Structure 1
Amino acid sequence: MNGLAGAILLPDGTPIRGRGRREPLPGGPLPELGLFLGRPGRDPLPDWPAERIDWPDFRVPRDTPAAVTAIETAYAAARDGRRVEVTCGGGNGRTGTAIACMAVLAGHPAEDAVAWTRAVYRPHAVETVFQRRWVLKFAAHVDGRS
């Protein structure tokens, strides 16, 4: 794949790793880019290059346009062969939501992106109805700019 332990393949074959920050860092090479989903001041950034989305636990991002841009940037980096990790505290809700959005960018239908993410990444990914709706909002936002 890309050498990033625990990575999954998005529908277009792009490798991406999702992880909870409370989980130990897997062995192997470090990510080349992290997409950290959490609160500034509460969730420190790692020692490798990373972007943060201000995203409270069990909720959706505070700034949709900024979140869309950050998710697109991380996806593009992964498509270009960089080792990209998406992470939040537990690795389920926010991370799963961002991975579902990346699945949409990879060509998967938005209406099925949550089910795809649960089947391929984690069964409990995308924890709330608000997060499920945000995947559709993300897709509409991206489509509206095309």
Structure 2
Amino acid sequence: MDASEFAALGISELDTFAVANGIRPVLFPIPDMHPPHERDRDAFIALIEGIISGASAGQNVVIHCRAGIGRSGLVAASVLVARGLTAPHAIKVVREVRSPRSVETSEQRAWVQGLEGVFNLDVARCECI
């Protein structure tokens, strides 16, 4: 979500509230119904690596957007691709556990597909799904 979405929802101070309550927010604005901008690809890859690193270290990780479906689904599916799932399998898993509408648009699906083979993380292949 971007600053205008936080303001429209009346939660423009959400990050301050989170920090005050021991939560470390990592904001990565993605336009609604779209994938990240191509110029943000390297930062997005770093975001996914950070999510995996934090979760692997036992930290709780929450992925959210306004509705928790399209952009959140894109990020969650990207994590699964980084862990070794194919994009179609990752999207299928996210849709099964979150919403059949997750990763809502063809552009979002193409973004996740484009991440296959990008990650060389020293993590075990995700076999738990």
In 2, the alpha carbon distance for the partners of 1:74 and 1:106 equals 11
Instruction: Give the corresponding residue for 2:127.
Output: none
Pair member with larger Rg: 2
Pick one of 58, 70, 77 that aligns with 1:81. 58
- Give how far 1:134 is off: 0.6
Unmatched tracts of structure 2, length 5 or more = 7-11, 121-129
Q: TM-score, normalised by structure 2?
A: 0.73
Secondary structure of residue in 2 paired with 1:83:
coil
Instruction: Give the corresponding residue for 2:94.
Output: 117
Higher relative contact order (CA 8 A, sep 6+): 1
- Give how far 1:140 is off: 4.1
The structure with more helix, counted as a fraction of residues:
2
Paired amino acid for 1:135: V
- Structure 1 stretches of 4+ with a deviation exceeding 4 A read none
- Give how far 1:40 is off: 3.7
Q: TM-score, normalised by structure 1?
A: 0.65
Secondary structure of residue in 2 paired with 1:108:
coil
Instruction: Give the corresponding residue for 1:70.
Output: 47
Which stretch has the larger CA shift, 43-52 or 114-123? 43-52
Residue identity over aligned pairs, in percent, reads 29
Q: CA RMSD in A?
A: 1.7
**Pairs aligned (count):** 106
In 2, the alpha carbon distance for the partners of 1:85 and 1:115 equals 20
